[in-house]
């Protein structure tokens, strides 16, 4: 069960690019990898950045879905990464681990793969081989594809 998300951690495109590139630096030491399994949809952008940095051109997808907004529903596997078989020599890339449910399912499908995420929350961290930034369990990460610039109210106007 996902914890109530009281803190927010908005991530800009620049920050995501920089942190995904930091992930690629860590993975460089651990490869080479035959290919990447991008976990849709959140893993698609980080996977593209890692693929560019490590010059990996073979990209598979694992298509999983569990959240509607910030509500966790049942995990649905829409498509497995059949090309990766049990994952030997493959790198799985997702944007984050939260409860770890998605990661558990991916690990069951591809036990021999190396699993990497950009962000990790404590409950999911033990399931990840390599990540860059940890945030607390009660934080919701807002990715740039889920945000748009909006006019903001001056602080003085926010008083009740
Ligand atoms: O560790 P967990 O609690 O399982 O949460 C992590 C997963 O949740 C999000 O995906 P989501 O199911 O929202 O689908 P999306 O990637 O298509 O947005 C995120 O991209 C991870 O894949
Ligand atoms: O955009 C997201 N931010 C999160 O913190 C999160 N946790 C699970 N799924 C998530 N999606
Ligand atoms: Mg996802």
Residue 48, domain member (yes or no): yes
Q: How many domains in the chain?
A: 1
Residue 66, domain member (yes or no): yes
Is 138 tagged catalytic?
no
Taking the model in full, what pTM does it have? 0.94
Residue 152, domain member (yes or no): no
- Name every residue whose Cβ is closer than 8 Å to that of residue 135 and which is 6 or more positions away in sequence: 9, 119, 120, 121, 141
pLDDT of residue 50: 98
CATH number at residue 54: 3.40.50.2020
Burial-class residue 125 by CB neighbours within 10 Å (0-12, 13-18, 19+).
middle
**For residue 112, which of 37, 10, 17 has the smallest C-alpha distance?**
37
Q: Are 5 and 70 in contact (CB under 8 A)?
A: yes
Domain of 77 in residue numbering reads as 7-142
Q: What is the ipTM of this complex?
A: 0.98
pLDDT of residue 26: 98
Q: In which residue ranges of the chain is pLDDT below 50?
A: none
Q: Are 36 and 58 in contact (CB under 8 A)?
A: yes
pLDDT of residue 151: 92
Residue 158, domain member (yes or no): no
Query: Which of 38, 66, 75, 93 should be mutated for ligand 1, with most atoms under 8 A from CB?
Result: 66
């Amino acid at each position: 069960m996902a914890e109530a998300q009281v803190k927010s951690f908005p991530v800009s495109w620049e920050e995501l690019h920089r942190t995904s590139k930091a992930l690629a630096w860590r993975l460089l030491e651990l490869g080479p990898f035959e290919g990447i399994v991008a976990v849709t949809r959140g893993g698609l952008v980080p996977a593209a950045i890692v693929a560019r940095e490590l010059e990996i051109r073979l990209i598979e997808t694992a298509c999983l879905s569990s959240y509607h907004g910030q509500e966790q529903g049942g995990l649905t596997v829409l498509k497995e990464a059949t090309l990766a078989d049990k994952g030997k020599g493959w790198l799985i890339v997702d944007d984050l681990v939260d409860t770890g449910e998605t990661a558990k399912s991916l690990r069951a499908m591809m036990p021999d793969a190396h699993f990497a995420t950009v962000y990790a929350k404590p409950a999911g961290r033990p399931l990840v081989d390599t990540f860059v930034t940890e945030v607390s369990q009660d934080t919701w990460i807002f990715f740039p594809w889920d945000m748009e610039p909006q006019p903001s109210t001056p602080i003085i106007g926010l008083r009740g």
